[in-house]
Structure 1
């Protein structure tokens, strides 16, 4: 047999072994390929972890001693501190005191209340030609400020001489210096509302409205409202008045600009307007004067202690007697006003009237004012008097049981009840001023309505 001839006669057993060996080899090859692919997948997935490790850590046993370091020195400039003139003053704690002059205050009590105790300052205030003005201006309501230390040593002092002038005292290296400081005040309106619970002054006190504004209200509406007998609980009013401010602080109040008073359900309004003499006059929003030719009461404010009567038991004479006037109870020294323009007909003493003034008015009218403590300076017979001018002061001269004003109203010599007699109206506003007044009236009336409808308690 030729040895190169294929053997077509191999046994079946050898053929099966050869096939199994080939299958095992192919299976091993496929398994190797899968392991290779898996290693690449794992390697790629671990790349972010290596990045994190590199960012946050240093491999263990890494040497850091070879890293080069250096020191940087940079000069920083501090802001300059301004040296005070008095080093001791910088170390002394200071205090500000503010107060107002009270009734029965003296210069000593005012200075003590604002902690001024060092002798140099007290002597300076009493003896200096400028500072000594303080002692002559101790008037209730005046403002006072002081800057001192805990021991009462004065550094700065301010005293209100009048509404728009202050006296200032300052400590210097040579002692103390004083000067008068005239202020330019800012004037702006103040709007207030109040309700009557007991009296006019009780209502204004509760609303923090100054007394002189209450007095002006009584003057404005006195020809329509009898403030002695007509007020009712629940009556209310709105008022706009001038306020003068120094550096945002109210230092004085001026005149009423407009007012609205609701008495027993009836509404009365008044708007102020300055005449050619710069005197404030009051009119209804339509331009009619609120004042009649005569004032109903010659006192700024008081109460009726005894009315007009044809038969009254006299408390001193102890018998029935006609009382031909009205008695207004008021403290001694209360100012008395002329109820209308007049000429002085009599001034002096007259029997039980004591000190008395008789004024002669137009159209046969005369008024009498009795039991005065004293008369106004330079008041004499024949002198011309204007309505509202001060003519004397309440007292109890003559036959009287206490301080009061006896007031009589006569027409052609016949006594009339001053509280009931019809008083004629004054003339209405006319001429070129009417257009100016209408503009002012429109503005003020709108503000009064705002106060009445929006329940604004106060606007300063």
Structure 2
């Protein structure tokens, strides 16, 4: 009996020891977990601004932002006034302006420019950003080697590029059809510009014509900011189809649009120097002048368009005249190879740099539609002369500018085939590809 008693006592003591050890281990683990959670919460409180997180990683244990001041520049306001309006104290205001002035000219503040100032719990500056549009962001933050010193720089921007297919049917005009698919006018203008040498979208569109376009759409923080480059485009009418694919040959810095056979989409002369217009007076040997009330030849075409509409050079050439001509008002005359001259009359103003002797490229903006000289309303008087004889611009035929060949053509055909299938596939998804891009400048091919 005594032996059983002592044996039970020993077993009970061992059980109590095991139980006490278990409680200690559990309590230790609980304290460690709590400590880890506290550390994680402290670190999570750090994200400030939109600079890469690794840049601020060294400060996460020391700095905890508690105040973020956000605002934007109002009309007639300076950056200093905007900071004061948002209750930023004078000392901090001076620090921010002095620091960012290294990279930003605040004399050129624009309404809508935005800023963000992040402060610690003592009111000290952690980071400040100044934003001018979606691609121009400047930052001020502590130096990595000395937290008391701040440095300013142009920050990179993280954008999402969505490759998107858009399609539509013409009911009244190309512009109207693009509007119905909620695409802005810049995209419709760019689409028309691609085919400007082959199609006149003012006179050759018909009800039921179809267009398809694959274009880059840029988003920032899931908000649409604008269109990038048109990658592929197609227009089909009742009897013809026109296609264009952007291609940049290896070793070249600028790409062009080519059709499915590798022929450049474009001729030596544009069919019209305006993307959209209404013909108000045709080429004729006898017309009653609307102001002088006498019959005389009208050796060009009058293209009505809103004042300020951009006028493109019809072909590569050089400015032979830019000034005032009696009757024609502000006029530009371009000289082109092969004995050609083009005339642009009644302009409201000339484009920057357009003067006698200036070399221009096809589609370069040379001026803007107006109503100067003898004119009854805003329009462009467009004329073309071949070897000293005026010709009807709409009746002239011009050759394609270039064609791909050899290995370059083979490479192009391979890439073009993929885009062509997507254009033809009416059941293809709207969003074809999503890519994140980190940029410091406006993307190439930006339309807006």
Shorter-chain TM-score bucket reads 0.5 to 0.7
Q: For 2:158 and 2:81, how far apart are their aligned partners in 1?
A: 30
Decide which of 396, 404, 408 is 2:371's aligned counterpart: 396
Change beyond 3 A, Cα 1:252–1:158: farther
Deviations 1:379-403 (A, max 9, x none): 3333332211222222222112233
Deviations 1:407-442 (A, max 9, x none): 101222222222232233323222432122112211
Whether the aligned pair in 2 keeps the contact of 1:163 and 1:252 (CA below 8 Å) is no
Deviations 1:252-298 (A, max 9, x none): 43221110112345321111112554222111111122211100111
Name the residue aligned to 1:36. none
Name the residue aligned to 1:416. 391
Name the residue aligned to 2:437. none
Name the SS of the counterpart of 1:434 in structure 2: helix
Deviations 1:220-274 (A, max 9, x none): 1122221112222332211112345556665443221110112345321111112
Decide which of 270, 278, 282 is 2:244's aligned counterpart: 270
Decide which of 298, 304, 307 is 1:323's aligned counterpart: 298
Q: For 1:294 and 1:437, how far apart are their aligned partners in 2?
A: 25
- Give yes or no for the alignment of 1:197 onto 2:174: no
User: Which residues of structure 2 form unaligned runs of 5+?
Assistant: 1-19, 46-61, 435-448
Higher relative contact order (CA 8 A, sep 6+): 2
Q: For 2:409 and 2:274, how far apart are their aligned partners in 1?
A: 31
Change beyond 3 A, Cα 1:233–1:169: farther
Q: For 2:210 and 2:93, how far apart are their aligned partners in 1?
A: 49
Name the residue aligned to 1:233. 207
Name the residue aligned to 2:232. 258
- Give yes or no for the alignment of 1:381 onto 2:356: yes
Change beyond 3 A, Cα 1:108–1:382: closer
Decide which of 454, 457, 460 is 2:427's aligned counterpart: 454
The residue correspondences of 1:258-337 to structure 2 (distance < 5 A) are 258-264=232-238, 266-275=240-249, 277-337=252-312
- Give yes or no for the alignment of 1:436 onto 2:397: no
Q: For 1:264 and 1:297, how far apart are their aligned partners in 2?
A: 22
Change beyond 3 A, Cα 1:263–1:133: farther
The residue correspondences of 1:103-142 to structure 2 (distance < 5 A) are 106=75, 108=77, 117-118=86-87, 120=89, 129=101, 133=105, 136=108, 138=110
- TM-superposed CA distance for 1:340, in Å, is 0.7
- Give yes or no for the alignment of 1:183 onto 2:183: no
Whether the aligned pair in 2 keeps the contact of 1:192 and 1:458 (CA below 8 Å) is no
- TM-superposed CA distance for 1:166, in Å, is 1.6
Q: For 1:378 and 1:295, how far apart are their aligned partners in 2?
A: 22
Q: For 1:108 and 1:134, how far apart are their aligned partners in 2?
A: 11
Q: For 1:436 and 1:139, how far apart are their aligned partners in 2?
A: 47
Whether the aligned pair in 1 keeps the contact of 2:104 and 2:138 (CA below 8 Å) is no
Decide which of 346, 352, 360 is 2:321's aligned counterpart: 346
Name the SS of the counterpart of 1:202 in structure 2: helix
Whether the aligned pair in 1 keeps the contact of 2:115 and 2:131 (CA below 8 Å) is no
Whether the aligned pair in 1 keeps the contact of 2:75 and 2:111 (CA below 8 Å) is no
Change beyond 3 A, Cα 1:429–1:131: closer
Change beyond 3 A, Cα 1:130–1:404: farther
Whether the aligned pair in 1 keeps the contact of 2:422 and 2:428 (CA below 8 Å) is no
User: Which residues of structure 1 form unaligned runs of 5+?
Assistant: 1-71
Q: For 1:111 and 1:199, how far apart are their aligned partners in 2?
A: 48
Name the residue aligned to 2:3. none
Name the residue aligned to 2:438. none
Change beyond 3 A, Cα 1:108–1:261: farther
Whether the aligned pair in 1 keeps the contact of 2:96 and 2:128 (CA below 8 Å) is no
- Give yes or no for the alignment of 1:364 onto 2:336: no
In our comparison, the structure showing a higher alpha carbon Rg is: 1
TM-score (norm 2): 0.68
Change beyond 3 A, Cα 1:329–1:155: farther
- TM-superposed CA distance for 1:306, in Å, is 3.0
Whether the aligned pair in 1 keeps the contact of 2:78 and 2:106 (CA below 8 Å) is no
Q: For 2:185 and 2:128, how far apart are their aligned partners in 1?
A: 28
